[in-house]
Structure 1
Amino acid sequence: MLMNIETVVTLFLIFGFNATAGTDCLNNWTAHGNSCYLFGHQSLPFYTAEHYCRQHNGHLVHINGKEENVFIREHLRYMKGIRWWIGLTDDDVEGTWMWYDTNEEAMYTDWTPGQPTNSGNNEDCVEFDMTAGYDGHWNDAPCDMHLLPICERSSGNIDIVG
C-alpha cells in the first residue's frame, strides 16, 4: 500500500513526531533562552549564595535585559520566597553597580522607585524583592542579609526528536 505525502504528514501530526530545540539544563534547573536557572531553597548571605551557585556550576544571576528580568519576576510569583539575591553589587565602588560574575558595570537595571538608597551606608548587594511596595523590582540590601539565591548557568542547545 502506497502512502501519499499528505497521509505521512497527517500520521506524524497524529502520533506526535516532532523535532524541537531544547536545553541541557539539569534537574531542578529552569530553562529560559540560553540559560538555566536554579532557584535556591536556603537563605544565605550574598557571598555565600554566590559560593552556593558556583558549587552548582553557576553564579548568581546576571540579568542582561528586560525580557530576562520579566521572565524571572514572573517565575518568582509562583515561588514561596519573596526576597532573592541577584549577582549585582557596588561593594568595591559605592554607586557603581557591577555584575559579580563578569565584573562588568550593569547596563540594565530595574530598581524599585526611590532605590538604590544605601540606607545606613551598608547596602552594597542587590535583591529581587517580591514584597508589597517593591512589586518584583530591585532593591539594594546589606550583603550579610540571608536571602534566597537565584543561580544561572549557560545552557548548550540540543535537539530533541520524538
Structure 2
Amino acid sequence: MASPRVKQWHNLALVCVFICVIGQVQGQVLTPNLREENGKARREQHILQNIREEVATMVQKVRAETVLPALASYSIQLYELTENLTRITNSFTNLSTVIEELQQHIENRSVELSCPSQSWVMHENRCYFYSTSVGSWADARGGCQSLNAMMAEATTRSINEFLKAQASLKGGSYWIGGHDISVESRWEWNTNGANIGYTDWGPDQPNDVRLGQDCLELLEKFQWQWNDRECTRVQAYICETAARYRPT
C-alpha cells in the first residue's frame, strides 16, 4: 500500500499531464487561420460599434437642430391659438350678455312702428308725407331729400291705391318719383333707376304732349290716376320713408 506522500506526487503528476494536454489541444484549435478570422471578427465588431456611436451622435444632432426647435415653435403657436380661442370665447360670452340684456329691455318696454311726425301717414311699414308747399318735379325731389326721404314710388297696387285715397282726402295733384327723362318712353323710378312695372295710367296716358312731358304725377282730373306732365309744372308732392321702431 502506497504512502500518502506517494499519492500526492501521483496526483500532482496527473495535473501536469492534464495541463499539457489542454495546452496541446488549444494549440491545435487556434490554428493561424482561426486566429486570423477571430481577429477579423473583433475588428468588424469594433467598426460596427463605431458606426452605432456615429449614428447615435447624428440622431442627437438632428433632434437638437430641427426636432426640438420645431416642437418649441409648435408649442408657442399652440399657446397663441389657445389665447386667441380664450379671447373669442370671452367675446361671445360678452355678446350673449348684451343680447340677453337687449331682449330683456325689449320685453320690459313695448315698441311699435311709427313715422317721423304726425304730418306723415303710414301704410304697411312705410311713411308718406303730402307737402303743402309746391314746386317743380326737381324741387319736389330736393324737398323730400331735405326730410331724409325720397319721392313716393307706387310700386304695387296696394301702395298706389293708398296714395290715391290720401290724395283724394287732401285734394290737388301731386308729383311722385317716376320719370322718363333719361330715355323717352322708358319710365323708371327715381331712387334706383328701376323700370316701372306696375302702372295706373289715366286715359290715353302717357301721351307726351309737345314732346316735353317726362315726369309722373297723380292727377286730380283723372281721379289721381297717373299722368305724364312737364317737369317744370309747379305743384305739391308726396315723400316716402321707412317707418322706425320706437318705444311707446
- Shorter-chain TM range is 0.7 to 0.9
Q: Which has the higher helix share?
A: 2
CA separation in 1, counterparts of 2:231 and 2:147?
21
- Residue 50 (str. 1) matches residue 126 (str. 2): no
Aligned to 1:153: 241
Structure 2: segments with no counterpart, 5+ residues: 1-108
With normalisation by structure 1, the TM-score equals: 0.81
Q: Secondary structure at the match of 2:160?
A: helix
CA separation in 1, counterparts of 2:216 and 2:197?
15
Q: Compute the RMSD of aligned alpha carbons.
A: 1.7
Bigger relative contact order (CA 8 A; separation at least 6)? 1
What percentage of aligned pairs have identical amino acids?
26
Equivalent residues of 1:130, 1:136 under 8 A apart: yes
Q: Give the counterpart of 1:24 among 114, 124, 127.
A: 114
Give the number of equivalent residue pairs.
Answer: 139
Larger Rg: 2
Aligned to 2:158: 67
CA separation in 1, counterparts of 2:237 and 2:137?
8
Equivalent residues of 2:173, 2:224 under 8 A apart: no
CA separation in 1, counterparts of 2:165 and 2:110?
24
Post-superposition Cα deviations, 1:32-52, rounded to whole Å, max 9, x if no partner, equal: 111111100011100110000
Q: Give the counterpart of 1:92 among 182, 191, 200.
A: 182
Amino acid at match of 1:24: S
CA separation in 2, counterparts of 1:147 and 1:32?
23
Instruction: Give the 3 Å change call, closer, same or farther, for CA 113–22 of structure 1 in structure 2.
Output: farther
